[in-house]
Structure 1
Amino acid sequence: MIDHIVLVKFGPSTTPEQLAEVVSRFKALRGHLTGVVDLQAGLNFSDKSQGHQVVLSVRFENRAALEAYGPNPRHQEVAAFIREVGRVDSIVVDFEL
């Protein structure tokens, strides 16, 4: 299994409503991806996160499922929305269990 963790930081013009919409769009991906064991998304409340506000955690069955995720059209739509509402930075970590 593969865990895929994404932390996203947005600029000061990004509204709380837009952050909530990012989380909703992340959660909606679950039904459109193959090889997903679990998918969680939420707003970060820790002050130890270097300003990253949104977290996505996806557990994939294998590396092939992770590789299919990147070019998936639904994922690309969410990525475009994130850029549109003011993404400043992302940290991505993938590791095998």
Structure 2
Amino acid sequence: MIHRIVLVKFAEETTKEQLQEVIDRFKALKNHLTGIVEIQAGFNIAEKSKEYQVVLSVRFEDQAALDAYVTNPEHQAVAAYIREVGRVDSIGVDFQL
């Protein structure tokens, strides 16, 4: 199993409603992709890394499922929305469970 964690930083102009929409769209990916064991998304509540407002956590069955996720049109649409509403930076890590 592969676990991916992504932190996303947005512009100051990005609204709370837009951030919530990002979270909702992340969560909805589970309905459109195979190979996802679990997906969670939410607001970052850690004081030391507050500049990254949204956190995504996804567990994939295997590397093939992760690879399919990255290029999937549904995932690409979410990525486009994130850029549209003010993505400034993101940090992602993947690790084997």
> Identity over the aligned pairs, expressed in percent?
68
Distance 1:67 1:75 in 2: 11
Distance 1:79 1:53 in 2: 15
Residue pair 2:6, 2:90 contacting (<8 A) in 1 also: yes
Work out the number of aligned pairs and report it: 97
Q: Which runs of 4+ in 1 moved over 4 A?
A: none
Q: Normalization by structure 2: what TM-score?
A: 0.97
Distance 1:39 1:17 in 2: 20
Identify unmatched segments of 5+ residues in structure 2.
Answer: none
What is the identity, as a one-letter code, of the residue corresponding to 2:6? V
Distance 1:88 1:69 in 2: 22
Identify unmatched segments of 5+ residues in structure 1.
Answer: none
Residue pair 2:14, 2:85 contacting (<8 A) in 1 also: yes
Q: Judge which range, 11-20 or 44-53, deviates more.
A: 44-53
Q: Normalization by structure 1: what TM-score?
A: 0.97
More helix by share: 2
Secondary structure, in 3 states, of the residue corresponding to 2:47?
A: coil
Which string of whole-angstrom CA distances, capped at 9 and with x for unpartnered residues, describes residues 33-70 of structure 1?
A: 11111000001111111510000100000000000001
Distance 2:60 2:54 in 1: 20
User: Cα RMSD between the aligned structures?
Assistant: 0.7
